[in-house]
Amino acid sequence: MISIVDLVVNLLALVMRVGSAVSRFPSRLCRLARFRSLATGRIPFSTQLDGLVHVAGRPRVELGDRCRLGRDVFFETVGEGAVIVGEQVRINAGCFLVSYARITIGRNCLIGEYASLRDADHGIDGPGAIREQAHRSAPIVIEDDVWIGRGAAILRGVRIGAGAVVGANSVVTHDVPAGTVVAGCPARVIRKRGEPAGSAGSDSPKGP
């Protein structure tokens, strides 16, 4: 038999669930409006924001339909830089996307938590302090249906082919062939998708 206390607790839980569901819609609208106010470009109504998005300046961001951004995703564009994202892309919490040239992400991609996509870095061979040297930039292109694991770093000038998988905490310094699994620092091909794990050799590190 349900006690009075249990009944009261159940009723309170029901009220809280209903209240939470009702409050989600205005919260979503507020987050979307805030993001649009901070950035330039297309941020459609179908964008789902799990929390606040952070920016530096007023970044140029173009999102496809039905994208989802985790909390504390960060955008920055400098000069002619832009971040162009296809439809149905999931960018998880804490990711950094910084563009001096252009970052293009295809459709149906998954980007794990705390991944970093930066299409520029400091020069290191000129005179003076590194921080005072000009940036070198080259576009990053991520084709459709790519999965980038948690904590991976994608560096300037890299193209990741369609259907590729990048292992967690990998550092991608060169192009990734379509349909392959890469991992490591620097990242290298472990196998092709559809092949048994370890088929590239018994000394190969495990993929995602």
Give one DSSP letter per residue of 72-129, joined into a string.
Answer: T-EEEE-TT--EEE-SS-EE-TT-EEEESS-EEE-TT-EE-TT-EEESEEE--SSSS-
Alpha-carbon span 143 to 151, nearest angstrom: 19
The CATH homologous superfamily of the domain defined by 39-192 = Hexapeptide repeat proteins (2.160.10.10)
Strand partners, 40: 60
Is residue 177 reached through a cis peptide bond, with omega within 30 degrees of 0 on the bond before it?
A: no
Are 187 and 203 in contact, with CB atoms under 8 Å apart? no
Give me the phi and psi of 203, to 5 degrees please: -90, 5
pTM of the shown model: 0.82
Question: CB–CB of 58/94 below 8 Å?
Answer: no
Locate 168 and state its tokens. 């967690």
Instruction: Determine the Cα–Cα distance for residues 187 and 70; give it in Å rounded to an integer.
Output: 25
Catalytic residues: 122
Q: What is the pLDDT along the chain (208 residues), one digit of tens a residue?
A: 567 867 767 777 776 676 555 455 578 888 999 999 999 999 999 999 999 999 999 999 999 999 999 999 999 999 999 999 999 999 999 999 999 999 999 999 999 999 999 999 988 888 889 888 888 999 999 999 999 999 999 999 999 999 999 999 999 999 999 999 999 999 999 999 888 766 554 334 444 4
Burial level of 62, CB count in 10 A (0-12/13-18/19+)? Answer: middle
- The answer to whether 85 and 64 are in contact (CB under 8 A) is yes
Q: Where are the domains of the chain?
A: 1-38, 39-192
